[in-house]
Amino acid sequence: MPRAPLGKIRSVDTAHYVVFHKPYGVLSKFTDAEDRPTLAAYVKVPDVYPAGRLDMDSEGLLFLTSDGDLAARLTSPSYKVAKTYLVQVERIPDAAALERLRCGVLVKGRRTRPAKVRLLSLEPVVHPRSVPIRFRKSVPTAWLHIEISEGMNRQIRRMTAQVGHPTLRVIRIAIGSITLGDLAPGEWRIPNLGEVQGLLRPG
C-alpha cells in the first residue's frame, strides 16, 4: 500500500540531499566490519544515508538524504521511480533479447517489470574504471540504456544474464529527476530545489 503523497519540498536546506558518484569497489554504506572501502572516505556531509544502494561492483549515481520519507519513496517499488543505467554486456544483443528485457524476465522466480531498453549505436563517454573489465578479444561487447522502476538485488546483472548477455559494467546515471551529470567517481554535489521536487512527481 503506497504511503500518502509527500508535501512539497520548499527548500533543500530543510533536509540534506547529496548526489554522489559511487566508484567501483566502494560499498553503499558508511561503515564496514571487514574494513572494505565505504562512503565515509568520500562524503563528508553529516546525517545523510543512501536512499537505496548500488552493489560494490556497480558504479554511478547514489542519492543520499536525511529525509526518511523521501528515501522510503525512492526505494519503494509502489512509487515506480525510474532508475536509469548504462550497461555494458558481452556480445551484441539481437532484437529478440532486447524484447525479452523489455517485457520482463524471471529473476529468482519473479518476473521483472517491463523495462525501457535500447541498444546504443555508439559507445558512451564514461569515466575509466579503477579495475578494468575483463577483456576477451574474440568476444565483442555492447552498451545498453536500461530504465527500470524497481530495485531487486543485482537486478540488471540478473536480467542480462537471463537473455544470454552477461553484464560487464553497470553505471547508474539517473534516479527520477536526479542525474549523475558530469560528476567524476568519488565526487558529490548538492542538488537544486527543482531536482529534489521532481522526485515527488508520480512515476
Asked whether 149 and 203 are in contact (CB, 8 A), the reply is: yes
Reading the block at residue 57, the C-alpha cell is 561492483
Catalytic residue numbers, as ranges? 55
pLDDT given for residue 102 in this prediction? 97
What structural domains does the chain harbor?
Answer: 17-77+177-198 (3.30.70.580), 82-174 (3.30.70.1560)
Maximum C-alpha span of the chain: 54
Report the C-alpha gap between 24 and 56 in whole angstroms. Answer: 6
Query: CA-CA distances (angstroms) from residue 128 to 84, 143, 201?
Result: 19, 15, 33
Taking the alpha carbons of 189, 190, 193, 199 in that order, is the dihedral positive or negative? Answer: positive
pLDDT given for residue 132 in this prediction? 85
pLDDT given for residue 108 in this prediction? 84
Asked whether 71 and 151 are in contact (CB, 8 A), the reply is: no
Taking the alpha carbons of 12, 79, 98, 135 in that order, is the dihedral positive or negative? Answer: positive
pTM, full prediction: 0.90
pLDDT given for residue 6 in this prediction? 46
Report the C-alpha gap between 14 and 196 in whole angstroms. Answer: 12
Among 90, 64, 72, 51, which residue's Cα sits nearest to residue 6? Answer: 72
Report the C-alpha gap between 146 and 169 in whole angstroms. Answer: 13
Among 172, 182, 142, which residue's Cα sits nearest to residue 55? Answer: 172
Per-residue pLDDT of the chain (203 residues; tens, 9 = 90+): 333 344 455 555 556 899 999 999 999 999 999 999 999 999 999 999 999 889 999 999 999 999 988 998 888 878 888 999 999 999 999 999 999 999 999 988 889 999 999 999 999 999 999 888 887 777 899 999 999 998 788 999 999 999 999 999 999 999 999 999 999 999 999 998 889 888 887 65
